[in-house]
Amino acid sequence: MIRYELISRGHLPGIISLCEAEGYESYKEDAELTWRVLSAPGVTTMVAVEGDSILGFAQMQSDGHIQAHLSLVVVTPSHRRKGIGRKLVEEAFSRAGGKRVDLLTDTADDFYRSFKHQDHWHGYRIYPGYEE
């Protein structure tokens, strides 16, 4: 049975493993930094757990009233397309609060289109001070 829980420190090794498998270097470099990021004020991180295994997680930031931003959703490949990602997003949004969720994606358009949405905006990821 899959449980959906707010993040705890005990989830961190499994989350870091998921991030490493996806190539998210910034989440695997420093476990303490990753913990602070995923548990910071205004951040809701939900974790899908089955037995002792972390199946996925979702990180959402919100002002608690109007605006939320979905920063990251990861589900282990063996458990994708089973509703886990959707449940993580819904649980994170329910707990974080707000009227809408904004997000950026590069590979999961079909997944996000399955939610009620509007797609007439354009988004950018800005890296202040970054030089190639």
Per the domain annotation, does 77 fall within a domain? yes
Per the domain annotation, does 122 fall within a domain? no
Cβ neighbours of residue 14 closer than 8 Å, sequence gap 6 or more: 47, 53, 54
CA 53 to CA 47: how far, in whole Å? 10
Per the domain annotation, does 107 fall within a domain? yes
Mean pLDDT of 2-21: 97
Per the domain annotation, does 64 fall within a domain? yes
Expressed as residue numbers, the domain containing 31 is 2-113
Q: What is the number of structural domains in the chain?
A: 1
CATH number at residue 89: 3.40.630.30
Measuring CA to CA, which residue among 108, 11, 24, 120 is closest to residue 55? 11
Per the domain annotation, does 126 fall within a domain? no
Q: What's the pLDDT band for 121 if we cut at 50, 70, 90?
A: low
Strand partners, 47: 5, 57
Per the domain annotation, does 123 fall within a domain? no
The reported pLDDT for the residue numbered 109 is 59
Per the domain annotation, does 32 fall within a domain? yes
CA 42 to CA 117: how far, in whole Å? 23
Residue 100 vs residue 61, higher pLDDT: 61
Does this model's pTM top 0.75?
Answer: yes
Per the domain annotation, does 93 fall within a domain? yes
Residue 106 vs residue 21, higher pLDDT: 21
Q: What's the pLDDT band for 40 if we cut at 50, 70, 90?
A: very high
